Every structure is written in structure tokens, then in C-alpha cells.
Amino acid sequence: MRTHAGLVLLCAGFLTTPCSAQKRLVAIDDLYRFDAPTAAVLSTDGQRLAYSRQWNDPATKETRYSLWTVEGSSDKAKAVEPDQPDARAPLFSPDGKWIVFHSKRPRPDGWTQTPAVPLESDAAVDIWLIPSAGGPAIPLAPSKKPYGRVFHDNFYGRTAFSPDGKRLVFVADNGVDPRTKQEIDNDVQIVRPDQGEGYTGYGAAQIWVAHLDEKPGKFAASRIERLTKDEVWYGDPQWSPDGTTIAVHANRTTQREAVRFSINRNFEVWTIDVETHKSRQLTTGVGPDVSPRFSPDGKRLACLNVPRKGSHRDVFNLAIIDLESAEPKTTIVFDHHGPTADKAPQPPPAFPLPTDCWEDDKHLIYNAETGVDAKVVRIDTQSGKGTIVEPSNKIQKRIQELTPAGHAYLKECSPGETSVVTWKSDNNTIEGLLTLPPAEAKVRKPYKLVVFPHGGPHGRASRSFNFTAEILAAHGYAVFQPNFRGSAGYGQKFIDADRDDLGGGDMRDIMSGVDHLIAKEVVDPKRLFVYGTSYGGYMTTWLVGHSNRFRAAVAQNAVTDLNMMWGLSDIQSWTEWEFNGKPWQVPEKMRKHSPLTYADKVTTPTLILHARDDRRCPLPMGKAFYQALADREVPTQMVIYPNEGHGIRQPKHMEDVLRRLVAWFEKYGG
């Protein structure tokens, strides 16, 4: 259960160390100064950059996106369209004449519109094209388009030009209401399997190819073909270099489950012949094979591989598929699940593989998570040897040169000082991040401390600028983000170390880290607080049921009861894997490891925050814990955020969370 608990800013050139020119503290109102380039892409000639400007509009308190371009240098950025209508994920055509983008803007009056989805889901977008030299944007499809909503997430969604630039592959559902006439007339709804968190309202992800007109008029595609016609969900399509084949990943078994932050079902890599629509299965593993990428010569294909159906975020292997043999042959470059995994020659790849990961026919690059850091690895696919490199090829360097800096308000601010801390727990060395209040906060050691555990449990704290941590630091708190056992970035053995023991070893890792900071006289043992979301919320509600050391706690979208988690969540495999069974098979484990079981021990004032439409950690778990505390007259309050899923995304709700978080801690001893 990964989460958006900390508001993380990914902005060009920003470091988390304080600067003498920065004067003021980071403030909650800075949420409405978030403004940064995202999804930057380079034209084929390397002269122009297109990106989506993403910013929080202070007038509407909504997140907006618009299309911008840069030519020559990063200080020459300009909006492409007047009034900056919605535009996301730009893509240059191979000849540079067109920019393709996604948008939720309405199609022309009288035309078939893109079917709506709930606000907590991914926005329902369509594909548009605009001349890169200037001119009005036009929709891809004619007035009666054959598809519905276009996927734009990082697992299913991808839009890409064929090598000759004449066709466009994309992923979309069919836009058809699955309800029968009787269901509609009687206003009832039959439960139908879907992909859970983030996909409410979406149908199966299907592969489509649009044939583009040379001189388009009111729309861009003269013909749109549907390559797949079933209820399987296909994703991440990539063209072969000769344009005859498209590679995808798909789970064609009956054991399907949500993929948002959770990839552990039996996905395989397939190719689809563009002319005949016939598919060919390339992999046959028991776990997921995903993120297919053709080599430049088209003779091989790289993908990510997990050799088992394990945790929701296992370590990936890099796999190379030989396409020239009679039967596709898969080779694992190095088995990060094998007996020598602790002696890996390079860190494992992170999901997804970059779309342009191949440097040549023998070498490719991938991103890797190493502890709290992120690295880029260049690997020789024949020898298996890899090296950590600086961000990587000429294209990436050129993108960095042309991309404007984001979040300009940070130049005015003095952030906290973030450092890596290590300590011993059960003979293990554990790592975490500690953010100290900036000098402008005018506090001194020993600091009051907020323990801020990540989600998952197989997530991790990383060095990225974390807005929530900075807000707390600005209010005089040190913020401790421990990468307890089970965290990603430390190998498969470390991920598995938490299995069957949630709330056990990971709690010891956290509390021994707190004791380490106390022993170093960094923090005040009498002013401890805790805040977490998702599994961080599990750990928050668990800690207050097992310790009275905290002055106050805030739990957001928390897992509080494992029976409810199995029965109501969109990923039953999470509970089954972590505890080796279903609720009726391991009832004592489910009871023993549920925070709700220990609600009678809680004395800590605890604020419960929960998204109403969270499908990963559903609302009843928050309500149950709140009711238990209220019944025992423990100081508590519950706040519900409508139209929000597992990650609270609306700026007005983000603001509310931060204000309540700070106020709750201040009320109870901050």
C-alpha cells in the first residue's frame, strides 16, 4: 500500500540543504505556489522541449495542467494555447510538426464526449494534436469516436508514434456502460471486477491504433483500429523498430487484481501483429513480467521480471527476451531473488523501465532505488555488468538543459536540514531520514519529534523534498522517516523480513531509532508525536495501542483491521501474502496483528483522517478505530474527505490535512 502521505516535490535543481539567501519558513499556503514542469519531452532534432505545466490554482484551489514549449534555452518557455486549457503528457511527432497530448477538455459541441469518471479516479482524458508551429488543437477521433477514456497512468497508459510517424498507438476502454437496461431502469449496480484504486468507472484497457491523416481537418485520424477485443487489461504498448508489431504486458488469467502500487499478479509480455491483430505470448513465468522495451535492432526485448507471486512490491529482475529463436528465450541478467542476491553486481531496476532505455543493441539504462537514494544504472546485457552513471544519455542531458526550474517560491524559503541516520535494531543496521527545523524556526535541541513512517510496508523514505516534513519542520518539529524492515531499496531479503510480523520487528526498528535520537540528545523524549498514511497509518494506530510515549497521533487512510482489509480492499493478495492465508485460515494472526484489537489500550489523543472513496484502505477501517476511541472517551476526531482515493490529491484537502495535523499536535503538547 504505497501512498501519497508526504507531498513530494520533484523540481529541477532543488536541494534539501538550507541556503543563506533563503529567508522565510515554508508555509502551508505555499501549496498554492506549486508550479513546475512535468512530463518533459524533446523533439527529434533536439531543439525544442514540450512539457506540461502543473500548478495549483489559488483561485479555484484545483490542480491544473497546460501545454508549454521551450526553444533555445530554459528561460524561453511559453504557453502554447491562450488561457492554458487542460493539457498533459505531450509527445512530439517524429517529424516535429505535431505535438500530441492528453486532455480532459470537452470535444466539439454535438460530438460524442469522453465518458466521465468519479473525481477520485484518474481523470477521463482524450487525445488531441496541435501543430508545433502554432494553430488550434484538434481531437484525434471524429465526432463518433470508437473508444472511450484514454489511460494515462504509468502501468497501462502509453501513447506513442509508430517509427514512420503515420500511426499512433494508445490504450483506452470502449466507453460503453456495462450495465444492462434493467440495471439502469431500476437504478441498481452489479459488482463487476475492475482494477480498483484509481480506475473506478473505467472499462478494460484495450490497445488501439490510429491512422493519421497527412493533412488533417477537424480531427486527426482517418481510421482507428481496435487491436484487442476482449475483457483483458493490456498496457504499456511499444512499437517494434519496423512498425509491424506492438509489445504489451497483460494478465490473461482469471486471477486479476488492482495494479495501482501493487504488481504481483501473473502479467506476461505479449506481441500483437498490427496487420493481423494476432497475439504471441513471449514469457511464461508465475509472477509479473512487465514493461516491455524493444532493442533498436528489434531482435531482443527487455522487460522487468519477478519470479514469484509475492509481496505487492517485490524486487524486479532485468530480463532479456531473444526474439530470433524459434521459441522466445528469456534470460535473467542477474537474479535478485536468488542465493547470491546479497552479492549483486548492481542494484535491481525499479518500475518502469524508461521508454528509451536502450542506448544501443547491447546496452541499456534503468532507474534504481538504493536506500534513500535514486541511481541510474547502465548495464551490458551480454556480460551482465552494470555501472552507476550520471543521468545518462544525450537526450536526458538536453532535456535537463531546456527544462525550466520549478517551484520558484522555494528560492524565498529556508527548508529544514535533512540527513541520513543509521542505527542498530535486532542486529540489523536500519536507515532513515531526519529533517531538523531550520534556524528561522527559532527552536533548539532537544527538538520535539514527529515520527513519520512511510506506507507499504514496502515503500520507502527517499531524499526527495517532502512538503509535509518541511511544514512540520517549519513549526519547530524534527521529522523522522525510518526505513524499517520491509522497506524497498534494500533488497528482497529486507522486504521479506517484515512478512508474518507486521507491527513486530518494524515497530522495534522505529522505536529503537527514536531511542537512538534521544540518546544523541537530538530530540525530547517527552515530546514525541506520530503521523502516517496507509501502512504508515497502520503503524500509527499500532504504536498508540502498544506505547504511551506519544503526546498525540494522526492516522490517515489507515489499515486498522485485517479482516476488513481483506474483505473490502482492492488487493486481497496483500493480506494473504503478509500473513500466509485468508481470514478464515489464519484468524488468530488477523486478530493479533490488527491495531483495532488493541484499541482498549490507547490513551493517546488520536485524529483520524480518511478519504471517503479510498479503495485500497477503505473508509470503514477509519470509522471503526474512531468509534472505538470515542466510546472509551479517548480524545479523538474524525475527518472524511469526499471525492478522494488512496492519495488525497485536491489542494484544498491537502491544505486541510496539513492545518489539522499541525493544530492537533499543537493542541496536545507541541
Residues in the chain: 670
List strand residue ranges (DSSP E) for 323-416, in order.
Answer: 329-332, 363-370, 373-380, 386-389
| Cβ-based burial of 217 (10 A; exposed 0-12, middle 13-18, buried ≥19) | exposed
Query: Average of pLDDT values for 315-340?
Result: 95
pLDDT at 12 > cutoff 80: no
| pLDDT tens for each residue of 70-117 | 998 999 999 999 999 999 999 999 999 999 999 999 999 999 999 999
| CATH superfamily, with its number, for domain 418-667 | Alpha/Beta hydrolase fold, catalytic domain (3.40.50.1820)
Report whether 356 contacts 294 (CB < 8 A).
no
| Range in 13-17, 151-155, 177-181, 385-389 with the lowest mean pLDDT | 13-17
**Model pLDDT for residues 562-579, shown as the tens digit of each residue:** 999 999 999 999 999 999
Q: What is the residue whose three cell numbers read 548495464? A: 379
Please state the rounded mean pLDDT for residues 428-457.
97
| pLDDT tens for each residue of 232-245 | 999 999 999 999 99
Tens of pLDDT, residue by residue over 392-431, are: 678 888 999 999 999 999 999 999 999 999 999 999 999 9
- Residue 325 pLDDT level (bands cut at 50, 70, 90): confident
Q: What value, to the nearest 5°, has the Cα angle with vertex 380 and ends 375 and 386?
A: 35
For the chain, the structural domain boundaries read 240-405, 418-667
Q: Can you say how many angstroms the Cα of residue 118 is from the centroid of all Cα atoms in its chain?
A: 19
pLDDT digits (tens, 9 = 90+) for 194-230: 999 999 999 999 999 999 999 999 999 989 999 999 9
Q: What is the pLDDT of residue 15?
A: 37
Give the DSSP H/E element, type plus range, for residue 610.
strand 606-611
Asked if the model's pLDDT at residue 5 lies above 50, the reply is no
- CA dist 580 and 583 (Å) reads 10
Mean pLDDT of 263-269: 95
For the chain, give the mean pLDDT. 94
- CA-CA-CA-CA torsion for 395, 397, 401, 402, nearest 10 degrees? 20
pLDDT confidence of residue 3: 43
Band of residue 381 on the pLDDT scale cut at 50, 70, 90: very high
The predicted pLDDT at position 566 comes to: 98
Contacts of 551 by beta carbon, 8 Å cutoff, 6+ apart:
526, 527, 528, 529, 604, 605, 665, 668, 669, 670
CA–CA dist 422, 490 (Å, integer): 13
Whole-number percent of the chain with pLDDT over 70: 96
> pLDDT, tens digit, for every residue of 68-79?
999 989 999 999
Q: What digits encode the pLDDT tens for the residues 282-298?
A: 999 999 999 999 999 99
Say yes or no to pLDDT of 13 above 60: no
Q: What is the pTM of this model?
A: 0.95
pLDDT over threshold 70, residue 391: no
pLDDT at 21: 55
Q: Report whether pLDDT(22) > 60.
A: no
Give pLDDT, residue 188. Answer: 94
Whether 18 has a pLDDT exceeding 50, the answer reads: no
